[in-house]
Amino acid sequence: MTHDPRQTWLAETHARGDIAAWLEAIPYARHLGIDVAERRPRFLYRLAPRPANIGNPLLPALHGGVVGAFMETVGLLELMRVGESPRLPKIVDFAIDYLRSARVVPTLAHCEITREGRRLANVSVTAWQEDEARPVARARLHALLVSPDG
């Protein structure tokens, strides 16, 4: 039987709750500037305000695709984080509602697992900037829960 070092890495990082290692392993997450903002009282993720993330330089505002990629990434990370065992969720469906322009300032997001079964999970993601009561976007993510070996 062949040993896959990726499975070992995933199991070890999951046991430590090492989201920073997961983010480091995702080149696009590094490019966008995604990190963990807060762990308590709840888990918050942050998107750094980088010039490369600007979609409309006249406002200026973040590109909608960047906001969507941020929300999709943190939804998947949250599913990986809360699972009892290591798993790699695969997106089945992703829908986003853009509610207002996202300025080029730090953007925060939190996730809520709305349903988690043995094979499928649903996650809601809310992103905001200075005021959580005024979100810039809301997203819904449906994912297939897959063990690392298949």
pLDDT the model gives residue 1: 46
pLDDT the model gives residue 58: 93
Task: Write down the pTM of the prediction.
Answer: 0.92
Determine the Cα–Cα distance for residues 16 and 86; give it in Å rounded to an integer: 11
For residue 21, which phi and psi values (nearest 5 degrees)?
A: -65, -40
Q: Find the mean pLDDT for residues 124-146.
A: 96
pLDDT the model gives residue 49: 95
CB 79 within 8 A of CB 86: no
Determine the Cα–Cα distance for residues 21 and 135; give it in Å rounded to an integer: 28
Helix (H, G, I), strand (E, B) or coil at 115: strand
Judged against a pLDDT cut of 70, whether residue 149 lies above it is answered with: no
DSSP state of 149: T
Signed CA dihedral, 53, 88, 110, 17: sign only = negative
